[in-house]
Chains A and B, each alone.
Chain A
Amino acid sequence: MRRFSYDFETKIIDLEEKLRKVNQLASQNPSFEREVKELERKIENLKKKVYGNPTPWQRVLFSRHPERPKVRDFINALINGFIPVQGDRLFAADNAIVAGIGFFGGREVAVCGTDKGKNTRENLTKNFGMAHPEGYRKCLLVMELAERFKIPFLTFIDTPGAYPGIGAEERGQAWAIARCIEKMLWLQVPTLAIITGEGGSGGAIAIACADRILMLENAYYSVISPEGCASILWHDEKRAEEAAEVLKLTASDLHSFGLVYEVIPEPLGGCHRDPNKIFKRVRESIKKHLDELMVKEIGTILEERHNFYRQIGNIFK
């Protein structure tokens, strides 16, 4: 079956489909092996050319790739014995947020994340990873648990944004997000945020105000979606590609601004091409940062955290 592809990579995906076919033939008929080698070389060269230096817009596309590992995949791969918190104990269960407590390596951690579906059916329950106020209030509960058990608080972020809907407004979307930001900034345990895909505006920063922010290479983090920016600037969503350039929203941009602590490299062409590799890299990175944070006094951690968020963008005329 032909796999999903974006326009700029169609040729690669086509060749890879052919390679799979020829590989099958080669397993029965050794005379095809030369063709296998040739195709492999061709694909490698093409991948370097097409994927070697992605534009900001191409990275946005990777971050939204339907086959990209979702937050739940990261949690399944990295956290053992996960005990979920289902709802906010106030109004509803928001499936766009996965939250609970589990083990990272041998260490107990509290975890929250925005979770997208992998297909339309899943996305109906996950709301395409766009949380309602209940989702953010569920995160507040888990932050409280982290403080009570004195365990680090980890977040995984992949959301186009908080849900802009009627119920969400009626129940105080902005109020819930602000409470999350404030609570996380004052949380009395070490915190780590990992932006794995889309870091969409208020919906992302609600659970991204951590001691250290990590980003996957093709993730983005932005004040507004490229489409939203294009529609404001030029009344034309189709100019999202240009907007992605001016917004400076890639992991490497944010790292150069000193806002993102570490960029976790992805396999060529996006991490959906090798999920196990990205799980391994993310695991190593989380371990390193938690190890470094856990030896510090909590007073020092809060002081450093507060200094960091206090000085952001302090360049004036």
Chain B
Amino acid sequence: MVSNENVNNQEETKWLRCSNCRDLIYKRIFFENQKVCPLCNFHYRLTAHERIELLFDKGSFVEINAHLSSVDLLGFKTPEETYEETLRRNQEKTGLKEACITGRGKIKGVECIGIVFDFFFMGGSMGTVVGEKVARAFEEALSKELPLVAVTASGGARMQEGIFSLMQMAKTSLLAGRFKRESQKAFVTLMTNPTTGGVLASFASLADFIIAEPGALIGFAGPRVIEKTVKAKLPKGFQTAEFLYERGLIDMVIPRSKLSESISEVISIGVNR
């Protein structure tokens, strides 16, 4: 069975079972298809590195602020684990320092600053380092007069940094606001599965254009929280990209294979003025 978690850990067989349609997929075709099920079109989660490889022109992406790594501001610990242990575990698991990678690169020849979240690092949660990298990415895009592309995959603000995480909503919205006031280049968010909570309710939803991958879960509150609050089953397709598209909250739902093209068109606005 392929799921969003273990898609890379099934090297031994030639076949995969899709966790969405439950059908068998030939593994080579699945990977050639950029981890989209060829039968049901389910878009499996990508790591930040896979996403960069998918979107950016080959070899064009140069990471910035790669060294930033979180410290334990609250002394957060549970009887099971300290925050520092949680961080180390996620760093070892993903090979990343933090839940997002930022840098400069080209998408179909158009130069831009990119922010790419990795859901496999603590659910793509936004703590102080993610907030700071997002802020610096906006500043870099402003000073270099480049458009900005944010690719989100996040459960929201990072609980383990408490109020400091919540405040990153303010920090990133401040910079998104500055970019929109001072830059004539485009700011586009690509929302991938899932984009929720504090990331959605800050810079991500402030973009000039919002694109989403098919089927992505996008919402302020998680479906389980909502179900518990309203004490009812949620309508089918609730909080999916398509659902939000119909309600005018996002601008485009674009399949993975066409993303580079669509994004490059959006970030070309104002470039050749």
Contact = CB atoms under 8 A, between A and B. Distances in A.
Contact of B229 (A165, A179, A223, A310): A165
SS class of chain B's interface: helix, strand, loop or mixed?
helix
Given A233-B78, A310-B171, A312-B164, A202 B235 contact: no
Interface stretch (B14-22, B52-60, B106-114, B217-225): B217-225
A172 interface: yes
Contacts of A253: 163
Given A177-B220, A178-B173, A202-B169, A310 B205 contact: no
B177 interface: yes
Determine which residue in B77, B178, B232 has the highest number of CB atoms from chain A within 10 A of its CB, and name it: B178
A173 B234 contact: no
Nearest to B157: A223
A201 B166 contact: yes
SS class of chain A's interface: helix, strand, loop or mixed?
helix
Given A232-B159, A248-B162, A175 B167 contact: no
B169 A181 contact: yes
A90 interface: no
A182 B220 contact: no
Interface residues of A, number: 52
B135 interface: yes
A27 interface: no
Given A202-B197, A306-B174, A317 B74 contact: no
B78 A234 contact: yes
A156 B239 CA distance: 31
B26 interface: no
Nearest to B197: A202
Interface string B187-227: 00000000001101111111000000000000111100110
B221 A173 contact: yes
Interface of B: 68-71, 73-74, 76-78, 80, 127-129, 131-132, 135, 157-159, 161-171, 173-178, 181, 197-198, 200-206, 219-222, 225-226, 229-230, 232, 234-235, 238-239, 243, 247, 249
